[in-house]
Chains A and B, each alone.
Chain A
Amino acid sequence: DTEVTQTPKHLVMGMTNKKSLKCEQHMGHRAMYWYKQKAKKPPELMFVYSYEKLSINESVPSRFSPECPNSSLLNLHLHALQPEDSALYLCASSQAGIGTQYFGPGTRLTVL
């Protein structure tokens, strides 16, 4: 099974709201990723967790706050977002840094 699940599928939020995106995998992978994808563009890496520790932060604004509560779960906490943050947010996981990344279906985020 190579499934990564993401909830919610769609999210609409105001600029003053606080919301969270959730990602889950049960493949025993020890690396998990958050990507942001704008329309007609490739995914852009935001964060990488390796063995539940933040390994890479691609200079993402602090209004995005990742969390890895355990090896199967990855959250992305959102606060005071801007309309330009509207995008498809993708989660992925891999066995390790070299491994193949498996992507979830994404959360379509709209910031009003």
Chain B
Amino acid sequence: AQSVTQPDIHITVSEGASLELRCNYSYGATPYLFWYVQSPGQGLQLLLKYFSGDTLVQGIKGFEAEFKRSQSSFNLRKPSVHWSDAAEYFCAVGGGTYKYIFGTGTRLKVLA
């Protein structure tokens, strides 16, 4: 079955600390992978995506993600978190059929 798992429902980090949000997927075909961020009451903003090529992908706002096929993972990282990064983060997998499979999301809280 196709699925996306974000094991951490909530994560709290201090401002300036590093961040890693986990995403594991189960997908039969070559996956297209995405990370989106959503501030309260807002739409989803694309942070980065992976289709093919270099497995380390750079995105906006200083985020990066690494695709590891052997581990079926696409973890999101940021070396130094800012208070404005507090939001909900969604990992998604697509495969060319219009449908995304979303993870359940990780809510990030940033301590001043």
Residues of A within 8 A of B (CB): 2, 4, 6, 31, 33, 40-43, 45, 48, 50, 55-56, 88, 90, 92, 94, 97-98, 100-106, 108
Contact = CB atoms under 8 A, between A and B. Distances in A.
Interface stretch (B11-19, B20-28, B37-45, B67-75): B37-45
A42 B43 contact: no
18 contacts: A6-B43, A40-B105, A42-B102, A43-B44, A43-B90, A45-B100, A55-B98, A56-B98, A88-B41, A90-B43, A94-B98, A98-B32, A98-B96, A100-B46, A101-B94, A103-B45, A104-B43, A106-B43
A103 B36 contact: yes
Contacts of A48: 98-99
A50 B98 contact: yes
Interface string B42-57: 1111100100000000
Contacts, number: 58
Q: In terms of DSSP, what is the predominant structure of the interface of chain A?
A: strand
Interface of B: 32, 34, 36, 41-46, 49, 88, 90, 94-100, 102-105, 107
Nearest to A88: B41
A5 to B, nearest CB: 10
A86 B38 CA distance: 19
Contact of A103 (B43, B95, B96, B98): B43
A90 B105 contact: no
